[in-house]
Structure 1
Amino acid sequence: MTMGNGAFMTCSALYFTKVIGFTPARLGLGLSIAGLVGLLAGVPLGHLADRRGPRETAAALVALNGIAAGGYLFVDSFAPFVLVACAFVVLERGGRAALQATLAAVLQGTDLVRTRAYLRSVNNAGIAAGSLFAGIAIQIGTDNAFRVVLILDALSFLVSALLLMTLPRTAPAPAAAPGEPRLAVLRDRPFAVITLISVVLSLYAVLLEIVLPLWIVSHTTAPRWLVTVLFLVNTASVVSFQVRITKKVDTLPLAIGAFRRSGVALLLCCVLFALSSTGTAVTAGLLLVLGGAVHVYGEMVLSAAAWVVSYELAPPDKQGQYQGFFFTGYAASVMIAPVLLTSLLIRYGTPGWFVLGGAFLLSALAMGPVVRWAARTRPQYFGSSSVPSAPLKGVS
């Protein structure tokens, strides 16, 4: 599935503008509408996974996601495109929540978080391979070449759905007790604050894809091909080191420390990117590569901490809706980040990087007390680690 997605993401903009004939503004509007529609889809569909069985729900949603991906082949105007895009995003968000609930049902503790790390490494490798395949289609440049990519993307979802059904069957969660809200996560204020903070921290996700290419071209003397180098550094690092880093973050106290380290790393990478606007092309290039390395370290540590917190603080019978809600923070961040960060960083330049770096650090530091608050508000703590109310010693 990730290989198909990597191929589709690489050439989708060209397909919709060159083959279908949308203007970039029209394409952006349609995708923004789909993003808004799908923003909260993970919560009800995650709840459905809890009640109907996460494995079966995940497989069904992933298969339907493949059908939606195939629907792009039949789009010939704006209205059908918006409908298909909305269906695709809603099913993707729901499928992701159901998949995380499935993992939580069949794995426990450190095995669960480490499996997420393995999957992220595999995902990045698959996306990279898919991007290379899409490059061949782009080089061929014909309409049919792009359609082949779409077909393979759709088929990859269907294959993934079949693979999901090979996992152990997971029993549905029992019905809610009388008086208990169906979507309990919407009333969990500490978890909502954690998700809100994650919106700020998740801004890191668009730096590499959107901001840095524009920054390199408009604010530095570095060569443009350095964008490719930064992508390779990021992908290779995640594939090589995500599992290793995650093994060291497997309890809530360690996750709180990892949040702090990620905040420092993301602040430092912002400083390095800001400084790349000065000096020669060689100096700018070195600062950008160093900043990219620090950025991906912060990204990996942040991911490990977020996985622990999202799983440990979720009730076992409500993993679907909790994972769906937590991912909403990331989805909201990715939706607002292009406009917010291009304005802050490209328009205002170096000062904007320092503002963003400060926001990363403050948000990461805020996670500690909020995570402790969340643990204290549980009738019983659902995780496997104790969380002291005082500042943790020996955790950096």
Structure 2
Amino acid sequence: MRVLLLATLINAFGNGAYLTTSVLFLTTVAGLSPAMIAIGLSAGAGAGVLSTTPLGYLADRYGPKRLSILAVLVLAGAYTALLTVHSAVPFVLLSCVIAVATALAKGANGALAAGVVPAAERLRMRARMRSLTNAGMGLGTLAGSVPLLVQGDVAYVVILLVNAMTFLVAALLLTRAPQVARQTTPAGGPRLVALRDRAFLGFAALDGLLTSTYNDLLGLGLPLWLATGAHAPLWLISVTLVINTAGCVLLQVRMARDVSGLAAARRSAVRGSVVIAAACAVIAAGAGRSPWLAGTLIAVAAVIHVLGEVQLSTGSWGIVFELAPTWAQGQYQGAYFAGRGLGDMVAPPLVTACVLGLHTYGWLLLGAFFALGGLLYGPVTRWAARTRPAGHPTPAPSLI
């Protein structure tokens, strides 16, 4: 556990530092235009979505520890290779390599965590990993802000190399992780069983859309809302992000303590969705209010949002662990993250259209979207529980 958690923290620190300066590095050092950057990132996102499930299968087949180490080594090399990029084609290719390696790392790390941790501890382990991810990203963001003050190309290059170095350190740490036995597909069954599991794919699509949307509420929707006349100061953006980061770090593990089994995970996901819906309604209530009242309501909404977020994320992980067959944790983790990738494509235009196009009613529509989406967890997960692949025990039925 300590090895995985420390590797997660170090990687998150490097990622947070790089993301803070990535656009400036690509425009000033690499000399890429915003259009080139957008094309490269979009190509990478598509490659990541398409590769997550097959790469998860490889992690099951050849061992998640080996594939985790391979993934972070590739990422170290790919980020370092960005120093040689000065045109669109190499950037697109490297973006695809980074996205595919990241997809492999996610699937392999999920399978590794599932393999080395007892089933009863998997959810708490995943919660610890997310808590440390948020902490590492926050510390990395602070470190990445230093080059923004210096405003020099050398500083951007240093941050990029620091990010690459964190992957090398993570690879070294992962060599100390225990081995997880290679998994074989039951005789006569399909290899990529996750792609044939329509019920699980339905859950992955639903959860991916809700997760990506709640991530964009504070990161995209609220800034647009404040910038277009919400009668509240722009510094509330930083306040809400600090509340969110602190809440995830402090509450994520605690929230996972009482969730065990599919029924409990489902209840947690439903509650989380409904609570996030309430946060949208509180933001909408701030429309047309005085600056201090609108600001107060937005801060309250940020607190409500993070309470819903930690419940929804905990429920999501619990559902994945319960529904994935023991011999296919990697590819099911991959299919789950593919749903997240699809959600990342849909959520930004959805949130933007609601906030800018419908204003106050847009927030209410987003709230209704989360409430309805949360209610769908029940029928989707019950369908998935009834249709488990061969060799996987069916969870006990529940009336909830």
TM-score range, shorter chain: over 0.9
What is residue 230 of structure 2 aligned with on the other side?
220
Pick from 299, 308, 314 the counterpart of residue 304 of structure 1: 314
CA distance 1:344–1:29, shift in 2 (3 Å): farther
CA contact (8 A) 1:193 1:370 kept: yes
Query: What amino acid does structure 1 have at the position aligned with 2:362?
Result: G
Q: Paired residue for 1:274?
A: 284
Q: Which moved more, 1:140-149 or 1:164-173?
A: 164-173
Secondary structure, aligned partner of 2:49: coil
Aligned to 1:31, which of 31, 38, 41? 41
Task: Decide whether the 8 Å contact of 2:65 with 2:179 is kept in 1.
Answer: yes
Output the CA distance in 2 between the equivalents of 1:30 and 1:343: 24
Q: CA deviation at 1:189?
A: 1.3
User: Structure 2: which 5+ runs fail to align?
Assistant: 1-10
* In structure 2, C-alpha distance between the alignment counterparts of 1:278 and 1:168, rounded to whole Å: 57
Q: Quick one: which of 68, 82, 91 aligns to 1:72?
A: 82
Residue type matched to 2:243 in 1? V
Offset from partner CA, 1:127-151 (integer Å, 9 cap, x none):
0110011000111110010000000
Q: Deviations over 1:12-54 (max 9, x none)?
A: 1121123323332332222112111211211111100000011
Q: Secondary structure at the match of 1:200?
A: helix
The letter of the residue matching 2:198 is: R
Q: How many residues align?
A: 389
Structure 1 52/268 Cα, relative in aligned 2: closer, same or farther at 3 Å? same
> Which residue number in structure 2 is paired with residue 194 of structure 1?
203
Structure 2 contact 209–347 (Cα < 8 Å) conserved:
no
TM-score by length of 2: 0.94
| More deviation, 2-11/106-115 | 106-115
In the alignment, is residue 262 of structure 1 matched against residue 275 of structure 2?
Answer: no
Q: Distance in 2 between matches of 1:307 and 1:282?
A: 38
Q: Is the 8 A contact 1:200 1:363 kept in 2?
A: no
Kindly state the Cα deviation for residue 180 of structure 1 after the two structures are TM-superposed. 1.2
Residue of structure 1 equivalent to 2:190: 181
Superposition map of 1:33-182 within 5 A: 33-177=43-187, 179-182=188-191
Deviations 1:283-327 (CA, angstroms, capped at 9, x unpaired): 111111111111111111011001111111001010000000011
Q: Distance in 2 between matches of 1:274 and 1:267?
A: 11
Whole-Å separation in 1 of the counterparts to 2:45 and 2:389 = 35
Q: What is the CA–CA distance in structure 2 between the aligned matches of 1:141 and 1:276, rounded to whole Å?
A: 37
Q: Report the AA paired with residue 226 of structure 1.
A: L
Q: CA deviation at 1:384?
A: 9.0
* TM-score, structure 1 normalization: 0.95
Q: Given that residues 65 and 88 in structure 1 are in contact (C-alpha distance below 8 angstroms), is that contact kept between their aligned partners in structure 2? A: yes
The 3 A distance-change label for structure 1 pair 305 and 106 is same
Report Cα offsets for 1:224-280 as digits up to 9, x if no partner: 111111111011111111100111212111111112211211111111122222211
Q: What are the Cα deviations for residues 46-87 of structure 1, in whole angstroms up to 9, with x where unaligned?
A: 100000011111111121112111121111111111111111
Which is worse superposed, 372-381 or 287-296?
372-381
- In 2, Cα distance between the equivalents of 1:339 and 1:221? 23
- Maintained 8 Å contact 2:21/2:148: yes
In the alignment, which of 365, 371, 390 is matched to residue 355 of structure 1?
365
Q: Is the 8 A contact 2:32 2:86 kept in 1?
A: no
Tell me whether 92-101 or 326-335 shows the greater mean CA deviation. 326-335
Distance (whole Å) between structure 2 residues aligned to residue 387 and residue 54 of structure 1: 31
Question: How many Å separate the matches in 2 of 1:363 and 1:142?
Answer: 46
Matched residues, percent identical? 38
